[in-house]
Chains A and B, each alone.
Chain A
């Protein structure tokens, strides 16, 4: 049973609009979350993280929101750019550990 779920396998957004990628988790011990971005033929690269002591973290066009009671986090990209087209993975760790559980990924396509 997947502990980290990304229920949308794919998402298409117009350039300049907001992209919202969602992630749900089941393990209440998860306390640190990351988003990775992956282009074809490349390894995933770190995008943004959030600790369970926060409910929001912002880095430029990227904002991650955490709702602990709902066990839900989301990544907002504003404004979306064609270069943001990639697969986005949500990952979570427990006890601020070094091991992460990854979701299945959401493929984002930003249309010009």
Chain B
């Protein structure tokens, strides 16, 4: 079974703090993704990575950065947390098999509250 784990289920941070969200997958997947989920908006892609040390901006990268130093680990960084970054953050991973639309496997999510 594919396992995607996220470092925290719940986080409370203050405005201006630097926040690290970590994601680890155990299936040797090449692709990793960070989304945020907000009511009425579904999942929106923040950043993704197709390989180690590689990153690409998604639809809403502003205020975020990422790091992928190892294949199994993909970190999302909020450089200076703001209240509008209060959200559910979901990490996902998938194979890069060449098959169309490879299924993404999601972690349980981190609910972040920025005060």
Contact = CB atoms under 8 A, between A and B. Distances in A.
A99 B48 contact: yes
Contacts of B92: 43
Contacts of B48: 98-99
Contacts, number: 68
Given A89-B42, A99-B58, A43 B101 contact: no
B108 A44 contact: no
Interface stretch (A12-20, A72-80, A101-109): A101-109
Contacts of A93: 100-101
B50 interface: yes
Interface residues of A, number: 30
A43 B42 contact: no
Interface of B: 4, 9, 31, 33, 35, 40-45, 48, 50, 58-59, 90, 92, 94, 96, 100-109
